[in-house]
Amino acid sequence: MPRYCLTFDLQDDPKKIAEYKRRHEKIWPEVRDSLFDAGILAMEIYLTGTRMFMIMDVDDSFSLDKKAAMDRANPKVQEWEASMAEFQDVPEGADPVRRWTLMDKVFDLAKQ
């Protein structure tokens, strides 16, 4: 099963971090459904300090480009993303729409 790992940073503001976490306790049903519709089978997000880390297990039909196109066509996902943007720290020169950055795998114990 393919796996994607992504990262980004939240603003260094404890109140905003707490609110971001609270909003993720129960995401909007339309956002949840869009994840499943795109082929995402499982997703977890972790936080340390301001650094977010997402793990997505996906089916073979999944692609980041397809998911981005689906998101652009979904007004509720666009509304959710806009509401989450107020918490995110977007570095200068970064794509303000695609805040999550794909990470490269550098180690796999199973291959040792």
| 111 domain residue, yes or no | no
Amino acid symbol at 46:
Y
pLDDT at 110: 94
Q: Which pLDDT value is given to residue 61?
A: 94
| Domains held by the chain: number | 1
Domain of 14, in residue numbers: 3-105
pLDDT at 14: 97
CB atoms within 10 A of CB 9: 15
CA–CA separation, 32 and 26 (whole Å): 9
Q: What is the pLDDT of residue 93?
A: 67
Dump pLDDT digits (tens) for 62-91: 999 999 999 999 999 999 998 998 899 877
**Residue 100: its pLDDT value, please?**
86
Residues of the chain with pLDDT below 50 are none
Q: Give the whole-angstrom CA distance, residue 53 versus residue 79.
A: 22
Does residue 53 lie in a domain region? yes
Evaluate whether residue 101 is within a structural domain. Answer: yes
Do the beta carbons of residue 46 and residue 40 sit within 8 Å? no
Confidence (pTM) = 0.88
Is 76 among the domain residues? Answer: yes
Tell me, what's the pLDDT at 90? Answer: 78
- Report DSSP state, residue 109: G
Whether 112 is in a domain gets the answer no
Whole-number pLDDT of residue 49: 96
